[in-house]
Structure 1
Amino acid sequence: MSERVCKLATEKHDFELWDAYVDNHSEGSFFHLSGWRDVICEVYKHTPYYLILENNKTICGVLPLFEQKSRLFGHVLISTPFCVYGGAIADDDGGLLQLENAAAELGKKLNVDYVEFRYTKPRSNNSNLILNCNHSTYLMPIPDDEQAILQSIKKKQRANVRQSLKNELTAKETSDISEVHRIYSESVRNLGTPVFPKRYFSKLKEVFSDRVELLSIKNGEQPVSAVLSFYYKNKVLPYYGGGTPEARYCRGNDFMYYSLMCRAREKRDCEVFDFGRSKNNSGSGSYKKTWGIEPQPLYYYCQLVKATNLPNLSPDNPKYRYFIKMWKKLPLFVTERLGPYLSRFLG
């Protein structure tokens, strides 16, 4: 009788088989792809542990993990940092449990505080997991043409999009990573969040090639909004986006997301607009709801190893509130230099 065994992926052939499994699994997401191993290792220096579950040398499950060490944010094993989805995928619940147990054993060997799995569905057959998430994701179907897309948007937000279409706004794919990163940097600084390094954007484009698109929105000749999006299977994911203060007045962001929907449908035949993760009851979540998108809960689970309590990494934590307040006041050039040192633990 065959027995399923868990091993670490180390060879190029392992990762070729890994990506084929992700591509063909119904719950395989862009964030399960092995390319994240190259991106996160090179840019952030976190140690990867990519677990493969095999049956007679045939893959029947995978689990990407990264070890993070920080005095401020703790020592964790996580699937997967910088990714809104993750966790194990397998042929059945027994395979999921076997991978989760292997991750817990690895966590004990590494002496981490806890192991975190990021799922889109609840887990029921692992009593060691503790739910620790207050986030939802936002997905909407993309209709067949521009007019149908516009009509699918909730009435008030549709009026904003119509207003944006009257302005001198243009949407164009760009290779200018510096421009996109600069606009994104300003946006996250204004939210009190350290920015990711520009080379992170560059590495994403290098590794995932045409699955990553940079879109620039200009008001006349002036860039006002920009977004870095992922394309995978039938979805487009606007993952890192933002706008300048001017974007508020010309509705650059509203134009950007509508244009992205239209482009994704027409040029790539995408059927789903994945607006990504937002904290429940947050401003970004409220904005996504104005498009007519209902939130779907995410299920992030922790298995405690060395820690005795669940972590509280929320921006509402008083431990971080003062820092966020001060960060918003810093000049952009300062946050662009300091941000990458802190953001490596904010995935």
Structure 2
Amino acid sequence: MNLQRINPLDYPDWDDLLLKSGDPSFFHTSAWAGVIVESYGYQPVYFVRWENARLSSVMPFMDIASRLTGRRGVSLPFTDYCDPFGPDKESLRQTVQAAIDYGRRSKWDYAEWRTTGDLIQGATPSESYLTHDLDLGRSEPEILSGLSENHRRNIKKTIKDGLTTKLDRSRESLGDFYRLHCRTRKRHGLPPQPLSFFKNILDHVLTRDLGVIVSALLSGKVIASSMFFHFGPKAIFKYGASDTGFLSHRPNNLVMWEAIKWFKGRGAKSLNLGRTEVDNQGLRRFKLSWGASESALKYYRYDLKRAAFSRTPLRGDHPKKLFSKIPVGILRLVGRLFYKHIG
């Protein structure tokens, strides 16, 4: 039961061990660790306990060392949430303390946890978000009846308009997705993740049958595309992109519905719809209207210098208006240069 620090990439059977332990999500997998490590060069530091060759506790971290933004531990970067798991609250408290002690020795500025629940007693979150989960354990007619009338009408419209769908893991579909991703990020005033990041997703995730790209096409042209991950009985919507010139055809509704049916057909029990900012009421209503349940995401940040949990959000000022006017090619360069420092 002694606590150890390991690198999951050193364990060829890591994902099998996860499935036999606790309540893991896709973000605990070696596939996701491989994407982050190969894309940005971070060092995995996973705190684990073993019991009879079984993982009884897991708390993943990435050690991020940046000349621009300092050194810290994040559980996990570019991840909506990654709940630690263990047998009881005392075990979790000990693991949190071990991470803090390690961070102090490693000269981290802070340690950050991204969870769907409370971390430990006395800890106050520095940031709060919402997340939404769709129950796929019901029958398809039950799921359909749980959708808003607007969604059901839009799905019918996509069929009437002649939209088709494609679900695969090909480089061609990745290219179509990335083209739309860059445009979507520009609209939102943000640089896109580097293409190398998504190529690593293809190599580490999609080719291992842990994810799928769902695309909507009109007259053979991809007009909306989303990337989903899955592990065990849980599926996750991670990235979505679309062409604004075709939104009147409601392609995003079709993409989500086809993904729901596909995951249900593969035995998934739930579909998480990702992170939503509390004040983004439009996105919140969109996700709730799929019949999803809502819960809180809590981000905790322990300041190593102050030896206390911080209540202050750690958010940089992004010049969104400026980014929305910059050509996509330049935004891609910005993303390639700076995302590794954001983490």
Q: Same fold (TM over 0.5)?
A: yes
Answering whether residue 184 of structure 2 is matched by residue 183 of structure 1, we say: no
Change (3 A) 1:50 1:326: same
Structure 1: which amino acid aligns with 2:294? P
How far off is 1:114 after superposition? 1.2
How far off is 1:73 after superposition? 4.6
Which residue of structure 2 aligns with residue 194 of structure 1? 191
Which residue of structure 1 aligns with residue 217 of structure 2? 218
Change (3 A) 1:19 1:311: farther
Answering whether residue 233 of structure 2 is matched by residue 234 of structure 1, we say: yes
**What is the CA–CA distance in structure 1 between the aligned matches of 2:286 and 2:72, rounded to whole Å?**
32
Match of 1:122, SS state, is: coil
Match of 1:118, SS state, is: strand
Which residue of structure 2 aligns with residue 170 of structure 1? 164
Match of 2:82, SS state, is: coil
**What is the CA–CA distance in structure 2 between the aligned matches of 1:156 and 1:58, rounded to whole Å?**
47
Match of 1:49, SS state, is: strand
**What is the CA–CA distance in structure 2 between the aligned matches of 1:184 and 1:227, rounded to whole Å?**
9
CA contact (8 A) 2:93 2:120 kept: no
The alignment yields a C-alpha RMSD, in angstroms, of 2.3
Larger CA deviation: 39-48 vs 159-168: 159-168
**What is the CA–CA distance in structure 1 between the aligned matches of 2:4 and 2:269, rounded to whole Å?**
36
Match of 2:127, SS state, is: coil
**What is the CA–CA distance in structure 2 between the aligned matches of 1:345 and 1:339, rounded to whole Å?**
10
**What is the CA–CA distance in structure 1 between the aligned matches of 2:163 and 2:342, rounded to whole Å?**
33
**What is the CA–CA distance in structure 1 between the aligned matches of 2:8 and 2:311, rounded to whole Å?**
35
TM-score (norm 1): 0.88
Which residue of structure 1 aligns with residue 139 of structure 2? 144
How far off is 1:19 after superposition? 2.9
Structure 2 residue runs of 5 or longer lacking an equivalent are none
Structure 2: which amino acid aligns with 1:279? E
Answering whether residue 127 of structure 2 is matched by residue 133 of structure 1, we say: yes
Question: Superposition pairs for residues 71-110 of structure 1, below 5 Å?
Answer: 73-110=69-106
**What is the CA–CA distance in structure 2 between the aligned matches of 1:78 and 1:57, rounded to whole Å?**
27
Change (3 A) 1:158 1:281: farther
Structure 1 residue runs of 5 or longer lacking an equivalent are none
How far off is 1:37 after superposition? 2.5
**What is the CA–CA distance in structure 2 between the aligned matches of 1:263 and 1:110, rounded to whole Å?**
44
CA contact (8 A) 1:183 1:226 kept: yes
Match of 1:134, SS state, is: strand
Which residue of structure 1 aligns with residue 204 of structure 2? 207
Question: Superposition pairs for residues 1-347 of structure 1, below 5 Å?
Answer: 4-10=1-7, 14=11, 16=13, 18-55=14-51, 59-70=55-66, 73-125=69-121, 127=122, 129-142=123-136, 143-145=138-140, 147-174=141-168, 175=170, 176=172, 177-208=174-205, 209-266=208-265, 268-282=266-280, 283-306=282-305, 309-314=310-315, 320-321=317-318, 323-347=319-343
CA contact (8 A) 1:69 1:76 kept: yes
Cα offsets for 1:102-161 (capped at 9, x unmatched): 110111012222111122121344x3x33122211111113423x443322012332222
TM-score (norm 2): 0.89
